[in-house]
Structure 1
Amino acid sequence: MTVYVRSLETAVPKTMLIQSEARDVFAAQPGLTRLGSRLVGTCFDAAAIDTRFTAVGEMTNDFQAEDPQFYDAATGLLLNPSTKVRNEIFGREATKLFVAAARAAVEACPELDLLDITHLVTVSCTGFFNPGPDYKIVRELGLDPAVQRYHLGFMGCYAAFPALRAAKSFCEADPNAVVLVVCAELCSLHVRTSNDPDTIMGSALFADGAAAAVVTARPGMEDKALLQLDHFETVLTPVGEDSMAWNIGDNGFEMVLGNYVPHIIDDHIVGALQPLLAREPELAALPYSAIRHWAIHPGGRSILDKVESRLGLTEEQLVPAREILRNYGNMSSATVLFVIKRILEQAPEPGDERICSMAFGPGLTVETALFTKLRQAPRPAPEEHNGQERLAAEAPVA
């Protein structure tokens, strides 16, 4: 049975962070050592990011909060709220992103009724609340109260793939199934000033965003579908457990993103791809660059550099991943869906339009997937596109 992605939509908060301005704020914090200040400058400048989005409106000098919790624009000081404060904001602001992305994905399928959705899979690793985002989406969109709901929590940047894999399994088990998958992350809630290199790297990379997809195998959908879901595989590298982790601290979640991660990926990416490509021996016999599209999770510039070099890919094949990193930063689980959407927006080309996709997370876990691009997704002008996303993300939450 062939399973399709019928729609794929994204949403971001309204507040844009300019990387150079954020760098200057973090570098000016009074608690930094001379080395810490230099690390801030180096990490922010080397991240290959121009802009990111955050749900924390007060993180810019344009926003004057009466009772600031994260950033006091009057003094230029970064504050350090408790995990409880950060998580309360997650419950409020993440709900807006979950609902905005979900609504956009459903509205992109006018032939489907809201009551057609049989399964809902939500994903996030940047906060917790219950009733959770799955409940909020059902209530806000008016889905069938009996829809089957599943939440994948705290898996990290690769979690979109287990969600899509679950959706594919649901559709293979029930040909009438329509699955709504929604990933939303508020990584910026957990940034803080520090002299620790891992914390500085996280502050330079992470951002907020959401993506949603409608997945189904219903007959007749192939004429409208954007993407065919072919195969998924997962691999744990033999090293790296201590190099990438995501823990809960007293003042937010604490990211461990060691500078050895790109080297681990460099050493093990070929082995991680073997189980996936073995599913189609004709692909396994080709050079990697023969697969036209590569949707790589842009965990950082150095990771993309290692993937491009080790697999012998062209600069053009990494353009979608680098564009998403430059314009949106690392939004954890939602990011690879932004990259796939960018590939779908590219004009179709003659021949086989296969997509090989990879994402990396704690463990070190490597999730891989093979897709087939079926048609071009509509892409509004950049100004209109961003405006729509921001407006949607501001939708009121009951």
Structure 2
Amino acid sequence: MMVNEKKKTGLENEQIESVRLKYVKLGYHYLVSHALYLSLIITLFCLLILTHPSTFASQEMFLLTISMGFLAAIYSTRRPRRNVYLLNFACFKPGKDTMVSKELFLQLCNDSEYFTPESLGFLKKILERSGLGERTYGSTALMQIPVIKTMTEARNETETVMFGAIDEVLGKTGVKPGDIGILVVNSSLFNPSPSLADTIVNHYKLRQSIVTYNLGGMGCSAGIISIDLAKQLLQVHGDSYALVVSTENLTYNWYKGNNRAMLVTNCLFRVGGAAVLLSNRSSDRCHSKYELVRTLLTHTGADDRSHSCVYQQEDETNEVGVLLSKDLMVVAGEALKANITALGPSVLPISEQLLFLARLFLRKTLKKKIVKPYVPDFKLAFEHFCIHAGGRSVLDELEKSLGLLPMQMEPSRMTLYRFGNTSSSSVWYEIAYLEAKGRMKKRDRVWQIGFGSGFKCNSCVWRALKQIDATVEMNPWMDEIHEFPVEVPLK
């Protein structure tokens, strides 16, 4: 009995100590974060004393000095760039007739007669561990026997997704197609001619002076690349709207072979897409959802292993597919490390930067094995994390690497479960999830992280301009958000 009481007392002491350390760190963070403001106040106070009119030869000299300081302060705070605002966005939600359960998916694969029994067993194993649920969406063409893998069907799939998302975002914002001055479209593996951007221009009869870009072959991180490109264009153009459309095509990229490294994409990818409307008009700030704070693109393609870890090629029977190498997780980890090292100084509080520099100095002066590298606490920089829902193993690794809590991983895991890997648009389904849950508050900071072939790790940081009430508008989660989160079993 005494032993149990001692154990209980020991656990209570450990919990108390843990709480104390937590508050010590929070106190340290608060003190360091506000030290700059405190120092500035003290400095200004000292300057006011030193520059009292009595110390000057004349009253005019004092007023001239104050005026020059005031003008210098105004000039230093002026930013040459234009702010970029996110008016609204829309995520495409396919019809129930294209909903595909795991059982239906495996049945379609079996009936197609493309795959060997060994490959079917492998597909089943991947699906069970994928983190996908029973209500993801496939393309109409792939649900036929035999599969209709044609240019016409591929166009139909992509146009349905793009037009559905664009119609919704235009309806939400009230912006007319003729007012759009910039269009950026990304689809990694389906790039017909005329381009998808041209197709949108034709369908919506956009103006002749519109600036259009069509990004292809850039993988699942292309959505953030598109935002970065639109941002740069908006910062040098006059008042304008920019439409960014992110999607991927399943029909034209269905793999019909039996190479296991290529079969994984068949299991993970599903139909989806998003349309985002941006503005550089200062008058749009008051009715925009978010302000763009930062974009950062990291490309590790100079390394051969990074370049080839996600590679489109023919297999032994000349069937085209996308090969995922065993180095993918290692490459992704290295790209993430490079990205957050560059991003950290611009988003982390000073307290975390000091801890990082101190640990880095110790590792340089002492043996690296003795001093472990310091992983900054990004939970102090962001309220929400939207990590590309590429697969369960990717999310598990990032949760561990960034030290995130289950609730912070929830948008990514639930997006993977409900919609599967929708490529570059997945980060928008994740923000939609946060909005539907009512978690997006004014001034909240959101970090979108995208990974893609090449290899690339890209970041996009947003700040909410108001508390988001998604109940007043369309959202792909709204009619079922009460069902989430769900427990995803690990098999």
Question: After superposition, where does 1:68-217 map in structure 2 within 5 Å?
Answer: 68-70=145-147, 85-110=149-174, 112-217=175-280
Structure having the larger proportion of residues in helix:
2
Return 300-309 or 36-45, whichever deviates more. 36-45
Cα pair 1:160 1:183 within 8 Å, conserved = yes
In structure 2, give the amino acid aligned to 1:206: F
Query: How many angstroms apart in 1 are the aligned matches of 2:313 and 2:231?
Result: 30
Name the CA distance, whole Å, in 2 between partners of 1:127 and 1:381: 26
Cα RMSD after superposing both structures:
2.7
For the Cα contact (< 8 Å) 2:187–2:248, is it kept in 1? yes
Paired position in structure 1 for 2:398: 307
TM-score by length of 1: 0.83
Q: CA deviation at 1:192?
A: 3.3
Question: What is the match of residue 426 of structure 2?
Answer: 335
Q: Matched residues in 1 for 2:142 and 2:307: separation?
A: 35
Q: For 1:10 and 1:338, how far apart are their aligned partners in 2?
A: 6
User: Of the candidates 34, 40, 45, which is equivalent to residue 123 of structure 2?
Assistant: 40
Counterpart of 2:102 (choices 19, 24, 38) is 19
SS of 2:105 mapped into structure 1 = helix
Q: What residue number does 2:71 align with?
A: none
Does the CA-based 8 Å contact 2:165-2:275 persist in structure 1? yes
> Which of the residues 90, 93, 102 maps onto 1:9?
90
1:260 aligns with 2:313: no
Deviations 1:185-236 (A, max 9, x none): 1225422344322222111101111100110110221221112111111223
**SS of aligned partner of 1:372:** strand
Question: For 2:377, which of 284, 287, 293 is the aligned residue?
Answer: 287
1:12-52 deviation per Cα after TM superposition (whole angstroms, max 9, x unaligned): 43311112321344367756555433312210111111132
Of 164-173 and 48-57, the range deviating more from structure 2: 48-57
Higher mean Cα deviation, 167-176 or 85-94?
Answer: 85-94
Equivalent AA in structure 1 for residue 389 of structure 2: P
Which residue of 2 is the match for residue 378 of structure 1?
Answer: 470
1:220 aligns with 2:283: yes
- Displacement of 1:167 in angstroms is 1.1
- 1:62-73 aligned at under 5 Å gives the runs 68-70=145-147
Change in 2 beyond 3 A, CA 1:381/1:296: closer
- The runs of 5 or more residues in structure 1 that have no matched partner are 60-64, 71-80, 387-398
**Once the two structures are aligned, what percentage of the paired residues are identical?**
20
1:318 lines up with 2:412 in the alignment: no
Q: 1:189 to 1:16 in 2, by over 3 A?
A: farther
Q: What's the CA shift for 1:179? A: 0.4
* Residues 38/123 of structure 1: CA separation in 2 closer, same or farther (3 Å cut): same
**Structure 2: runs of 5+ lacking an equivalent:** 1-81, 354-375, 481-491
Instruction: Give, in angstroms, the shift of residue 346 of structure 1.
Output: 3.6
Larger RCO (alpha carbons 8 Å, 6+ apart): 1
Q: Which moved more, 1:226-235 or 1:246-255?
A: 246-255
Matched residue count: 365
Q: What is the DSSP-based 3-state SS (H/G/I as helix, E as strand, rest coil) of the residue aligned with 1:88? A: helix
Q: Which 10-residue stretch deviates more, 288-297 or 16-25?
A: 16-25
Give the partner amino acid of 2:287. K
Distance 1:9 1:91 in 2: 20
Contact 1:210 1:334 in 2 (8 A): yes
Determine which structure has more spread, i.e. the larger CA radius of gyration.
2
Change (3 A) 1:174 1:234: same
